[in-house]
Amino acid sequence: MLIILKNIFNTISYIITMEKDTSWEKIYKKRGQVQSKIKQIVKDILEFKKSGNVLDIGCGTGRHSIFLADKGFEVYAGDISETAIKILKGKKKNIHILIFSKENIPFKDNSFDIVIIINVLSHSLIKDIKKSVKEINRVLKKNGIVVISDLSTEDEKFGKGNKIENNSFEKIPGLLDQCVHHFFTKEEILNLFKNYKVLKYYKVKNYFITHNFILEKVD
């Protein structure tokens, strides 16, 4: 009973924190650009698509948006951090830049050939992860691809910090951001994207161990 009550308390605490939207906004205000290296799974897009329009969800300061725009893609980039968006607007003029959340994507159905969501789904409760996947599925065209990189339960940080819900923790020691981190199994991601075909998959061990997917929408 105490464990259940503690998890409920942690969930309420997490929701209040997210409503204030303090974690990554503070980081961007303090540090500016945080990540600059292009993920290999984003480079791998070129194996399957040479052109088209791309939605970069949780774009941050735009490392992947800029890379894909420079490759000739029509890029739409969005983030919930006003500071990150301001930084990106100061860097690149040929990207469509918006403020929006992954749970409420402001585009019509079947709008995009490619959706990328890199280290973003994990910063949510499970119910919001499911909302985000539903939104991705809605805006992605049939035979479009979704590109995902996110936390694995095999990572050494899994299980540390305060447990919010199954495989989800906040205030993990040593992390730059102290918001929720959901750790995925490979099967969980595949189950979220049931109507997709795996074009490419591999794990990467870097700062985190991550699952990396390119999935094609087939239904």
Whole-angstrom Cα distance, residue 60 to residue 31? 12
Element of type H or E holding 12 = helix 2-20
The DSSP letter of residue 45 is G
Residue range 2-217, CATH number: 3.40.50.150
Q: What's the number of CA atoms in the CB half-sphere (13 Å) around residue 107?
A: 29
Q: How many residues does the chain have?
A: 219
Whole-angstrom Cα distance, residue 146 to residue 37? 20
For 166-197, give the DSSP string: TTEEES-TT-S--S-EEPBPHHHHHHHTTTEE
Per-domain residue ranges of the chain? 2-217
Residue 70 structure tokens: 């420079």
pLDDT digits (tens), the chain, 219 positions: 333 333 333 333 333 334 334 577 777 777 667 777 899 999 999 999 999 999 999 999 999 999 999 999 999 999 999 999 999 998 878 999 999 999 999 999 999 999 999 999 999 999 999 999 999 999 999 999 999 999 999 999 999 999 999 999 988 887 766 788 999 999 999 999 999 999 999 999 988 999 999 999 998
pTM of structure: 0.87
